Structure 1
Amino acid sequence: MDDTNSQAFQDRTCVSSDGLTLHLRDCDPGSDVTEGRLPVICLPGLTRNSRDFHQLALILSRDPVIPRRVIALDYRGRGLSDWDENKAIYNLAVEARDVIEACAYLKIDRAAFIGTSRGGLILHLLAGMTSDLVAAAVLNDIGPVIGAEGLMKIRDDLNAARLPHDMEEAAALLKQRHGADFPALSEDDWAEMATAIYRDVDGQLVPDVDPAIAQQLLSIDFTKPVPDLWAHYENFEQLPLMAVRGENSMLLSESTVTAMASSHAGLKIVRVPGQGHPPLLHLEPALSNIQSFLAAIQYADH
């Protein structure tokens, strides 16, 4: 990422109700051009952070026709946010509460949300926890049914990966591990992914996340069905909703997407060829579809 792009956002922090300092990136082009327009809040995956949305946030906030404020969060234990001493409360309910509190800190009472993987699960809860906050939702490669095979793959990848010596090796390792699912990605895409995932700590590149979060997956009993979120998915019934699915995803199946469309008549479905879990949203065809989806609900009236 070049340094000029880093000037396009402001690093901000807020404090959760239980005392943790939480970090977020705020790409705000200014109230003079965004007055009355819905901001966009981006929620990353299980072990990921706000840097995942760097390119998307730049594009949306600099849109020549509809520029908008874009905020991306680091949940507790990820990125530049504090790690929680109580590892047991790294869970969806607590993280959803953190999102609500971050919005209150930012004085945002209504927004469009983009949730990747874990972020989409949090969105399922948010839509029911607060009646007005979620004005529209994009679910990136996630739905009310989580594919067990995909979850096992995430578990194994997170808990078996070796540490790279530098960013070049980090990009190469990511491509080696995930390249078969993401043939559409360029070398630059792998390099950007590496900078989003890893951080230098005392001269060693490490995933920018509390290891306890990845270790939680080791306790899942895959002999039992993964609980579904259909009851929470009903919270989207009256909202504009988009589902993005990577062609090679093992976490969100085509059958689940079909069932989601049957349950939500207005669901917009975007299928991304040459990508797995989760697709990069600043690449086509996801990007233009997100832009048109947001354009249709751009103002913050209820």
Structure 2
Amino acid sequence: MGDDFRDFFYTSGNGLRLHARIYGRDLNEDTLPVVCLPGLSRNAREFHELALALSQDAKRPRKVVAFDYRGRGRSERDPDWRNYTVTVEAEDIAAGLTVLGIAHAAFIGTSRGGLIIMALAASRPAALRAAVLNDIGPVIEGAGLAHIRSYLVNAPRPESFEEAVRLQKSVHGQAFPALTDADWERHTHTLYRIENGRPVPDYDRRLVKTLQKIDFSRPMATAWPQFVGLARIPLLAIRGANSGLLSRETFAEMARRHPALEAIEVDGQGHAPLLETADLPRRIAGFIARAERRGVR
């Protein structure tokens, strides 16, 4: 156990050893725990700074659980890459919540994590008491997803951490002019693990196969019916002003269909905004506290 968090391992329905980080301690019934769900190729580490801020808040500390999906971070790789789907991953999260005894929580999902939140709204609606969608909505822009696929397929192999930072800036810097050198270094640390002295992307490389079958010449399927499942709970939607995945049109339509939605657009960032920057920890904490005051428990 570290000073900031403890590692938690549990078993999926098909026997994989899955991992999550737990920050803070069990608190009273009036304090919602927070469940953090990362992006497609990301892991629990991307929420570290946000989780610290929420779990160590001087006025209202709360328990935070950040999950590694199968094939990412410290979770076991799946022998069958076809199981790297939103549906299976949502089932894994539900299993983890059951083992942890978390009946309901506020959920924060970045990109893929937001899709899993919408899946949970359909399969386990009682678990959701508030939700934060970070740069994701019911309509995914094909060009943005194609860019992600291209990057994952052609991702260079850096020889050192310093080179990894330079590569991240080179590929994504135009969409993220607001980030400082410290932001880039911290973010890069969340993406790689060190293996034989070299940084290695911390996900199963076969994850790319799940994107290779997508035909970007055809319109992308939408998830408006799943989004409707969030209508009964407080919802905070965050969009990077330079996002290629979540359009301003979809962002506006989300607000129209969910009248109680709170919206934040983050200047100088693309897909997806870093949740520890731009005063987002304070604003997310305030959003969750307002959900609690509304009696959504």
* Range into which the TM-score falls when normalised by the shorter chain: over 0.9
Query: Is 1:165–2:159 an aligned residue pair?
Result: yes
Assess, with a 3 A threshold, how the Cα gap between structure 1 residues 163 and 269 changes in structure 2: closer, same or farther: same
Query: Is 1:197–2:191 an aligned residue pair?
Result: yes
TM-score, length of structure 1 as denominator length: 0.95
Assess, with a 3 A threshold, how the Cα gap between structure 1 residues 301 and 231 changes in structure 2: closer, same or farther: closer
Structure 2 counterpart of 1:289, which letter?
R
**Which of residues 285, 289, 292 in structure 2 aligns to 1:295?**
289
Query: Is 1:141–2:135 an aligned residue pair?
Result: yes
Distance 1:199 1:249 in 2: 26
Query: 1:27 matched to which residue of 2?
Result: 23
Structure 1 counterpart of 2:256, which letter?
S
Post-superposition Cα deviations, 1:70-114, rounded to whole Å, max 9, x if no partner, equal 110000000000000111111010000001000001100000000
Distance 1:207 1:215 in 2: 16
Distance 2:143 2:168 in 1: 19
- SS for the counterpart of 1:47 is coil
Distance 2:157 2:146 in 1: 20
Q: Is the 8 A contact 1:34 1:69 kept in 2?
A: no
**Which of residues 5, 9, 15 in structure 2 aligns to 1:13?**
9
| Map 1:212-227 → 2, pairs under 5 A | 212-227=206-221
Query: 1:121 matched to which residue of 2?
Result: 115
Q: Is the 8 A contact 2:41 2:72 kept in 1?
A: yes
Post-superposition Cα deviations, 1:24-45, rounded to whole Å, max 9, x if no partner, equal 00001x33x5553110000000
Post-superposition Cα deviations, 1:235-288, rounded to whole Å, max 9, x if no partner, equal 001110010000000100000011111111101000000000000111124222
**Which of residues 237, 240, 251 in structure 2 aligns to 1:246?**
240
Q: Is the 8 A contact 1:246 1:271 kept in 2?
A: yes
TM-score, length of structure 2 as denominator length: 0.96
Q: Is the 8 A contact 2:81 2:209 kept in 1?
A: no
Distance 2:30 2:9 in 1: 24
Query: Is 1:52–2:23 an aligned residue pair?
Result: no
Q: Is the 8 A contact 1:74 1:81 kept in 2?
A: yes
Structure 2 counterpart of 1:24, which letter?
A
Aligned length: 296
**Which of residues 93, 99, 107 in structure 1 aligns to 2:101?**
107
Distance 1:87 1:161 in 2: 19
Distance 2:3 2:173 in 1: 31
Distance 1:193 1:83 in 2: 23
Q: Is the 8 A contact 2:165 2:185 kept in 1?
A: yes
- SS for the counterpart of 2:129 is strand
Deviation at 1:142, TM superposition (A): 0.1
Assess, with a 3 A threshold, how the Cα gap between structure 1 residues 159 and 110 changes in structure 2: closer, same or farther: same
Distance 1:215 1:240 in 2: 35
For structure 1, list consecutive stretches of 5 or more residues without a partner in the other structure. none
